[in-house]
Each structure stands twice: as structure tokens, then as C-alpha cells.
Amino acid sequence: MPSSVKHETWVVLLTPPGRGAIATLRVEGPDAMGAVEATVRMGGHHALRGMPFDRIVLGQIGEDRHSGEPIVLRRRADGSVQLHCHGGLAAVRRIETALLRQGCRPLGWRDWAQRRHDDPIQAAARSALADAPTQRTAAILLDQYHGALRHALDEIQAALHSGDAETAGRAIDALLARARLGQHLVRAWRVVLTGRPNVGKSTLLNAILGYRRAIVHHAPGTTRDVLTADTAIDGWPVELSDTAGLWRSEHPIDRAGVERAEAQAAEADLVVLVFDLAQPWSEPDRELLERWPSALVVHNKCDLAAEATGRPEGLMTSALTGQGIEALLDAIADRLVPRPPPPGAAVPFTSEQIEGLRLAAAALADGDRTEAMPRPEM
């Protein structure tokens, strides 16, 4: 770390922005105590530096006890000071502004966390944990924070040092096999429901979500835009999209809806292709299946008279009665994450880590064990 950075005094907002009950700021650096004492009026006029460590001290910003901002302070053994105040943005900004006038500099909490860790993997995991949308993905990131990925990289390095390129190669391949999952620990998988008009996509979306998100109507082409909703399936974060029915129309609005639906499906991690089981299998159905051969096939409206002749294999569902919905959720989860990692497994989760592993695999394939060594910044 540059010496100029070491000699700065920083103010860091540790809690997320919003209207929370309490906000916490941390002031650290060579002049942390002086900046806080010059900013905060202490209860009883005691000097903060004379207080025992971690003693709770009351104070306020502003001389007027009616208009002043109340603050709870804690002097820490590492020389920093923590300030706890009302969680509203106005209160936080008032305190930050006052500290900046005393020469403090603002520092984002992610940059602050990065500075506190010598291991870049641990720093990245700590940052990513704040964005983990589900308990399951947070648990995987917590494993990486506690050293799962670093341990795996150290073992690869040890194998390469000993000349065991085969063991190192298998370990790199195992990590890369989990790269796709790692990229979705904080970013939702994109799952798109598509198919011809009036096959029940919107009703199916509502059935999966458990609440009414999409407007349902019996007229073809009701959904003309892409409707999205965030959810979790088997603990994996998912952005679920309901798209316009795929059909040939001369109406410009309908054509625009179809184009958006096709673009959404092209970028999806998984396409769920929905067909109407109550209608005969048709040539347009076959064309859709040929267009998305890897799609998860769903035959909806199984509560009605079924027309199964000539149909490909697929899941049978009824969005109205709920039949087959649990099986559909299981199938989506299995398609997204076919082999969930066991507890404590190493999972690369940043683009830099994954790119480093790919470069290592390529170097090893070329017989270059030196270039295959995991880089320290991974």
C-alpha cells in the first residue's frame, strides 16, 4: 500500500444506504481521534481519547441539543473510532460532511474491506457476500472466504512444484467445471418462458412465483413485453421472464414483442419451451423445438383433454391446478446446477479467478508448468 494511503484519515460508511434504524461509520487513520473530537460534542465534555476502549459514549453534532444529531461513539483499540447514528441518509451525510471538513477522506466499504485483507480471494468473497441473494449462495461464498478456493490453488501449486502435472490439471478442470455456478452466486440465472401464444406461459409464471405477476387473458398475444420477476429455485437466484408468444403477425407492436422475446431467449441461461397439451402437435411447434433443441420442454394444461400424439418427451404441468409445478422447479434447478458443490468445496467466483484458471489450463496443455502456476492476485 502506498505510504500516502497509509497516512490518510478515512471515513467509511459500513452499513448499507437507506432508512435503517442505525447507521455505522468508521473513522480510521492517524488523525481519527482528533477529527472525531473536533466534530462531535461529547456528553459531559469528556475527551474521547481518555475513554477506555469500547466504552459507549454519547455525543452529538451541533451545539443546539434540539437540532443536534445524536451519536453513539466507541473508541477502538486499533486507533479507529466507530460512530453510530440514525440510519437516515440526511443524518449520515451530515456526519460525513462534518468529518470531511476536518480533513477526513471518504472511502467505500468495499475498498476498505479490500485493504484489510492480504488475500485477494478473501477480500473478494467478503465483498461478494454482501450481494449474495440467497442463503445457499452465501454459504458457498463463505466457504471461499474461509479459504476453500485458496487451499485448492495451493494444492495445484504444490502439485506443479512436485512435477505432478496430471494431478494439477485435474484440479484445474474441477474448478473450471464450477465456474458457471461461481458466476451466478451473486448474479441471478436468467430463465425465460417462451412458446406460442396462449399456451399458458403467464399463468405458469404466476404458478412458479406463487403470486400474480403477469396479467393472464385468453386472447392470444396478451403479453407483448417481457415481464421479469426475481425468485429463488432450490436456493439458486433466478430471474424468471415471461415473453410474448412466438407467432407470425403483421401488426408492428406484435412483431416488436416477438423480437424482444427472441432476444431474451437468445441471452437466457435456460429456455423453458411451453406447449399447449390441449392442442394437437403442429408444424409451428416442431419448428420451435428445432430452434431451441436444448430447451426444457413443458407440456402445459394437462388438466384438460390431452393430445399427446407425436409430442416429444417433456414435463406435464397444469399452471391452473399446480400439477407438475414442483417437478418443473426441480428440473429447472437440475438444468442450472446439475452437480451442486458439497459443503466446503472450492468454487471460483470472479471473472479474474476464472480467467486465471483458463490461462493455467491452456499453459498446462502446452506443457508450460511455470505459466500454469496460480497467480498470487487470484
Label residue 326 exposed, middle or buried (CB < 10 Å: 0-12, 13-18, 19+).
exposed
Final residue belonging to a domain, choices 93, 115, 137 = 115
Helix intervals (H) in 267-324: 283-291
Most confidently modeled range among 38-42, 99-103, 242-246: 99-103
Q: Assign 3-state DSSP to the chain and report helix, strand, coil percentages, each to 5.
A: 40, 20, 40
Domain of residue 215, residue span:
189-336
Amino acid at 64: D
Band of residue 115 on the pLDDT scale cut at 50, 70, 90: confident
Final residue belonging to a domain, choices 96, 115, 134 = 115
Is residue 375 situated within a structural domain? no
Q: Are residues 205 and 72 in the same domain?
A: no
Q: Are residues 152 and 256 in the same domain?
A: no
CB 369 within 8 A of CB 160: yes
Mean of per-residue pLDDT scores for the chain: 86
Q: Are residues 265 and 315 in the same domain?
A: yes
| Distance from the first to the final alpha carbon of the chain | 18
Range in 34-38, 110-114, 241-245, 311-315 with the lowest mean pLDDT: 241-245
Q: Are residues 201 and 169 in the same domain?
A: no
Q: Are residues 156 and 287 in the same domain?
A: no
Q: Are residues 174 and 56 in the same domain?
A: no
- Crossing angle (nearest 10°) for helices 32-39 and 89-101: 120
- In 3D space, the residue among 109, 32, 28, 42 whose CA is nearest the CA of residue 73 turns out to be 42
The pLDDT of residue 244: 63
Q: Are residues 40 and 137 in the same domain?
A: no
Q: Are residues 261 and 331 in the same domain?
A: yes
What is the total count of domains within the chain? 3
Q: Are residues 109 and 124 in the same domain?
A: no
| Long-range CB contact pairs, 58-66, < 8 A, 24+ | 61/94, 61/95, 61/98
Residues in the chain: 378
Is residue 163 situated within a structural domain? yes
With b for 16 or more beta-carbon neighbours within 10 A and e for fewer, the 43-54 pattern comes to eeeeebeeeeee
pLDDT at 247 over 50: no
Is residue 19 situated within a structural domain? yes
Q: Are residues 203 and 242 in the same domain?
A: yes
Per-residue model confidence as pLDDT tens digits over 51-62: 889 988 888 887
> Which residues are registered as beta bridge partners of 222?
none
CATH value at residue 257: 3.40.50.300
The pLDDT of residue 45: 55
Q: Are residues 264 and 358 in the same domain?
A: no
| For residues 357-374, average pLDDT | 88
Range in 111-115, 197-201, 231-235, 346-350 with the lowest mean pLDDT: 111-115
Q: Are residues 212 and 312 in the same domain?
A: yes
| For residues 258-284, average pLDDT | 84
